[in-house]
Amino acid sequence: LSKAPLSAVLLAASRRPALRRAVTGTPATRRVVDRFVAGETLDDALGAVRTLTADGIAVTLDHLGEDVTDRAQARRTRDAYLAALEALATLGLGTAAEVSVKLSAFGQGLPDGHDLALELVRPVVEAATAAGTTVTVDMEDSRTVDSTLAAVAELRKEHPGTGAVLQSMLHRTEDDAKTLAVSGSRVRLVKGAYDEPDTVAHRSRKDVAAAYARCLEILMSGPGYPMVGSHDPAMVQRAHELAAQHSRAADSWEVQMLYGIRTDEQRRLAAAGTRVRAYIPYGSDWYAYFMRRLAERPANVAFFLRSLATR
Residues that are catalytic: 138, 188
Of residues 86 and 305, the one with the C-beta less far from ligand FDA: 305
Alpha-carbon span 170 to 254, nearest angstrom: 22
On whether the CB atoms of residues 256 and 277 are closer than 8 A, the answer is yes
- The answer to whether residues 3 and 276 touch, using CB atoms and an 8 Å cutoff, is no
Binding-site residue numbers are 102, 139, 167, 191-193, 230-231, 292-293
DSSP state of 171: T
Looking at the Cβ atoms of 147 and 256, the one nearer to ligand FDA is 256
Q: Which helix (H) or strand (E) holds 224?
A: none
Q: State how far the Cα of 49 lies from the Cα of 150, in Å rounded to an integer.
A: 30
- Strand ranges for the chain from DSSP E: 58-63, 97-101, 135-137, 164-167, 186-190, 225-229, 254-258, 276-282
- Report, in Å, the least distance between residue 265 CB and ligand FDA: 9
In angstroms, what is the minimal distance from the CB of 233 to ligand FDA?
7
Residue 247 CB, nearest approach to ligand FDA (Å): 25
Q: Which is nearer to ligand FDA, 77 or 300 (CB)?
A: 300
Task: Give the Cα separation of 215 and 176 in Å (integer).
Answer: 9
Minimal distance, residue 50 CB to ligand FDA, in Å: 19
Residue type, 214: R
| Residue 29 phi, psi (nearest 5) | -55, -40
Q: Which CB, 186 or 188, lies closer to ligand FDA?
A: 188
Q: List binding-site positions for FAD.
A: 139, 167, 191-193, 230-231
Q: Which residues are annotated as a binding site for substrate?
A: 102, 292-293
At closest approach, how far in Å is the CB of 76 from ligand FDA?
A: 21
Helix (H, G, I), strand (E, B) or coil at 170: strand
Q: Summarize as ranges the residues that interact with ligand FDA (CB under 6 A).
A: 138-139, 165, 167, 188, 190-194, 229-232, 235, 256-258, 261-262, 279, 293, 296-297, 300
Of 78 and 277, which CB lies nearer to ligand FDA in the complex structure? 277
Q: How far apart, in whole angstroms, are the C-alpha atoms of residue 308 and residue 32?
A: 9
